Structure 1
Amino acid sequence: MTTLQDCRAMDAADPLAPLRALFELPPGTVYLDGNSLGVLPAATPARIARAVREEWGQGLIRSWNEAGWFDLPQRIGDMIAPLVGAGPGELVATDSTSINLFKVLSAALSIAQAAAPARRVILSERSNFPTDLYIAQGLGRLQGAQLRLVDEPGAIAAALGPEVGVLMLTHVNYRTGEMHDMATLSRAAHEAGVLAVWDLAHSAGAVPVDLHAAGADFAVGCGYKYLNGGPGAPAFAWVHPRHAGAFEQPLSGWWGHAAPFEFTPDWRPAPGIARYLCGTQPVLSLRALECGVETVLAAQPLGGMAALRAKSLALTDLFIALVEDGCAGHGLSLVTPRAHARRGSQVCLTRSEGAYAIVQALIARGVIGDFRAGDAQLPDILRFGFTPLYLRFEDVWQAAQQLREVLEGGEWRRPEFNRRHAVT
């Protein structure tokens, strides 16, 4: 069994170890929730303070030009682009993941129906992140489309019938950590005459993504998880260049106009990805996101996403092994795939009783993960995210040790750990 000393030796040999200094980590905390909210970058407070006191306070409205506020969505989009295999000028940081999904899903469905009017079905998984399903349902009511769900990943390809216009999937499943083969499923979609829309919320900054090589058509992603942009950070939208000018997105706000400061009464879409902007961007939030993306880009000289991925797999392999060895007989089951090609950057465990309370007991001990409710297919889930930018192998050992102690001592049965909070 791997010892604490072994983990400290691995940390000493870790080429990515210096990146931990880029973050403000609370002392005594093992943070395994970066797949829900990333840690605060050390540079963010000063960057936001400068934006408030200098750019806003002194520059005032001049900062739209002088401080570069105007094109922040495109510039930060170009920073994110190489992390997901997009080219310059193809991606914008804007709005929320849900709003961006509405935009790209509407465009994809319109393109599909223009080619074949009978293609009125959006195909997805029942276990997809709920906001994606809700957005698809709402869009379906507006555009006369229908959301159809499959229960298993293996059923996706067979469900790509002639009535399907769009395949909408999340690359890494939020509850299980299972990762789809984006290239294989995008190719299957195209062979069936279907467009592929991908949600990268649990992928961008965590696992290597190459949208062009995978043949994706549209993608959206989150700015506050592995990109460390802060709570509610702007998300991003990407459209393959072959589609960027093919259709107008439905939220035709002035920032997506070809010339917003001409103030004409009729909307004229901007060329390319800029038409997927909508209203005025949140400058302070974008400044925070800028810092977050810089932390991921800081890994580029150290091996980039390939190095982050290798460490992520090593961290999750270690956690799985330590939990299975130290917590055997306590009712935990692994639902995250063991195969590296099918695993995101998280480990999810199920337990038929007490999953929520166990997570709360861990949080009280300084090990922060989160809980996701089960359903007919899966019991309740203890979810642990692994961000290799700042996590150490020693942290993994400590987390597994704390989990063993919580289970062995029955600590999770205490009343205070069984009271549900609004956010789980």
Structure 2
Amino acid sequence: MTTSSLPSLREAEDLDRSDELALFRERFLPIEDADVVAYLDGNSLGRPLRRTLELLRDLVTEQWATRLIRGWQDGWLEQPERLGDALGAVALGAAKGQVVLADSTTVCLYKALSAAAALRPDRTELVTDTDNFPTDRYVVEAMAQDLGLTVRWIASDPVAGVTAEQVAAEVGTETAVVTLSHVAYRSAFIADMARINSLVHEAGGLTVWDLCHSAGSIPVRLDADGTDFAVGCTYKFLNAGPGAPAFLFARTEHHERLRQPIPGWMSAGDRFAMAPAFTPAPGIRRMLSGTPAITGLAGVAAGVELLEEAGIERVRAKSLALTRMAITLCDAWLVPLGFGVSSPREDERRAGHVTLSHPRAEELAELLISKGVIIDFRAPDGIRLGLSPLSTSFSELWSALDRTRTLTREALS
């Protein structure tokens, strides 16, 4: 299939037969709802893995039921750091001792921003963009109010994303922290992490990146790109399950001066000393707070195992092939029906989903979901097609867009 040709269903099926990642689809539990034509929302919630069910069954019936509270001494306590190291190696380009699994993305972001701001106590400004994910903006605004800081807003284009040139125009001698999403949640635009990190460091500031739509979808190189802090969820492309623990990355050079805002017994140097005063643990463990969510971490373990076997570079290659096909079919079938493509067309700037715009997007999204094409709607006019390379086939995508064309024609007639 060339970029200028329109693929047929047969050609999509041929792509599935030659797909070196095709066998990984069998690692997922089947979709029991016979009405579902395609699941294109893995960028919001990945499908469940058979391995997760195995790990949960073992956790409940063998570890928990047999060892009871002794499970903490059998390895549960070390899971946030052990899985953090594995995730860092497989998906984040981070050396050991810099990633920990904990809390939700929101809490991890609050911790990371607070810790970063504390490392620049004489500076007065936080920088983010106007189209960052709402949680990120809300946390930035609340933190600025609590700490008496000023927020400098980058006016970001929902399609083009935040550019290094825009960051350069906003950072200066008062910049404490710049926080951005590596992949824009609306459009899948990939920001230039390495260049933006360099610009912020030249100005004397620090960076905090949101990797929710990056982890498990595109290669990330936190160490090589000089990132200071990063956070992200595990329930999208890592398939760890609804509400699974998030992750937090802190660069090694910052560890000894890290002061986080929610210290707890898990972040204490001696967890069982029950000391009257808090002494932080060495390294990344000081970013923990409360008791680890062991059941949720089972899903993280399964997702990291799968990604390690598949390889992030192969995942990225198939992701690009899927998103190219989506754009090609949308241009031919859906643009004449009033849709627009609101994601970057350049491979190097597009991550793992494609967003379509339409004046009646909310209405059409409800219709599509009711007819078995599971996508999601993002206000004001976006329909996102989340293409998860390990669970999404080319023929599934083709069939979904064919049904979208038919349903849209009927709705607009």
* TM-score scaled by length of structure 1: 0.91
Match 1:169 to one of 180, 202, 213 = 180
Match 1:98 to one of 93, 101, 106 = 106
Match 1:364 to one of 370, 380, 385 = 370
Match 1:272 to one of 275, 279, 283 = 283
Match runs of 1:375-386 below 5 Å: 380-386=381-387
> Which residue type is aligned with residue 381 of structure 1?
G
Instruction: Note if contact 1:84-1:211 (Cα within 8 Å) is conserved in structure 2.
Output: yes
1:205 corresponding residue in structure 2: 216
Distance 2:109 2:335 in 1: 41
Q: How far is the alpha carbon of 1:44 from its aligned partner?
A: 1.4
Structure 2 counterpart SS, 1:262: coil
Q: How far is the alpha carbon of 1:31 from its aligned partner?
A: 1.2
Match 1:72 to one of 61, 79, 96 = 79
Q: How far is the alpha carbon of 1:297 from its aligned partner?
A: 1.6
2:159 corresponding residue in structure 1: none
Distance 1:244 1:386 in 2: 36
1:59 corresponding residue in structure 2: 67
Q: Structure 1 residue 394 and structure 2 residue 400: aligned? A: no
Instruction: Note if contact 1:109-1:120 (Cα within 8 Å) is conserved in structure 2.
Output: no
1:295 corresponding residue in structure 2: 306
> Which residue type is aligned with residue 6 of structure 1?
E
Distance 2:280 2:102 in 1: 16
Q: Structure 1 residue 328 and structure 2 residue 327: aligned? A: no
- 1:325-384 deviations in Å (ceiling 9; x for gaps): 0123211111100011111100001111x211211222122211100112xxxxx10011
Distance 1:248 1:328 in 2: 51
Distance 2:57 2:151 in 1: 44
Structure 1 window deviating more from structure 2 (390-399 vs 27-36): it is 27-36
Match runs of 1:13-412 below 5 Å: 13-26=18-31, 28-66=36-74, 68-82=75-89, 83-113=91-121, 117=122, 119-152=123-156, 153-154=162-163, 155-299=166-310, 304-352=311-359, 354-374=360-380, 380-410=381-411
1:377 corresponding residue in structure 2: none
Call closer, same or farther: CA 1:314–1:346 in 2, change over 3 Å. same
Structure 2 counterpart SS, 1:327: helix
Instruction: Note if contact 1:41-1:295 (Cα within 8 Å) is conserved in structure 2.
Output: no
Structure 1 window deviating more from structure 2 (72-81 vs 359-368): it is 359-368
Distance 1:357 1:245 in 2: 52
Q: How far is the alpha carbon of 1:321 from its aligned partner?
A: 0.4
> Which residue type is aligned with residue 190 of structure 2?
M
- 1:270-327 deviations in Å (ceiling 9; x for gaps): 111010010001111111221122221220xxxx111111110110000110111012
Instruction: Note if contact 2:244-2:297 (Cα within 8 Å) is conserved in structure 1.
Output: yes
1:416 corresponding residue in structure 2: none
Distance 1:18 1:231 in 2: 24
- Following TM superposition, the consecutive aligned residue runs of length 4 or more in structure 1 with deviations greater than 6 angstroms are none
1:418 corresponding residue in structure 2: none
Distance 1:344 1:247 in 2: 32
Distance 1:179 1:97 in 2: 19
Distance 1:38 1:71 in 2: 25
Call closer, same or farther: CA 1:331–1:286 in 2, change over 3 Å. same
Distance 2:242 2:37 in 1: 19
Instruction: Note if contact 1:171-1:198 (Cα within 8 Å) is conserved in structure 2.
Output: yes
Distance 1:78 1:91 in 2: 6
Q: How far is the alpha carbon of 1:147 from its aligned partner?
A: 2.1
Q: How far is the alpha carbon of 1:39 from its aligned partner?
A: 0.4
Distance 1:328 1:169 in 2: 31
* TM-score scaled by length of structure 2: 0.94
Q: How far is the alpha carbon of 1:244 from its aligned partner?
A: 1.4
Q: How far is the alpha carbon of 1:133 from its aligned partner?
A: 1.1
> Which residue type is aligned with residue 14 of structure 1?
D
Instruction: Note if contact 1:359-1:371 (Cα within 8 Å) is conserved in structure 2.
Output: yes
Q: How far is the alpha carbon of 1:213 from its aligned partner?
A: 1.1
- 1:114-144 deviations in Å (ceiling 9; x for gaps): xxx1x21110010001111111122222222
> Which residue type is aligned with residue 232 of structure 2?
G
Q: How far is the alpha carbon of 1:146 from its aligned partner?
A: 2.2
Q: Which structure 1 residue ranges, 5 or more long, are not aligned? A: 375-379, 414-424
Q: Which structure 2 residue ranges, 5 or more long, are not aligned? A: 1-5, 157-161
Instruction: Note if contact 2:141-2:151 (Cα within 8 Å) is conserved in structure 1.
Output: yes
- 1:50-73 deviations in Å (ceiling 9; x for gaps): 21222222211111112x111110
Structure 2 counterpart SS, 1:167: strand
Instruction: Note if contact 2:376-2:384 (Cα within 8 Å) is conserved in structure 1.
Output: yes
Percent of residue pairs identical: 40
Q: How far is the alpha carbon of 1:215 from its aligned partner?
A: 1.1
> Which residue type is aligned with residue 345 of structure 1?
G
> Which residue type is aligned with residue 386 of structure 1?
L
Q: How many equivalent residue pairs?
A: 397
- 1:175-218 deviations in Å (ceiling 9; x for gaps): 11111010111111111111111010000000100001111110
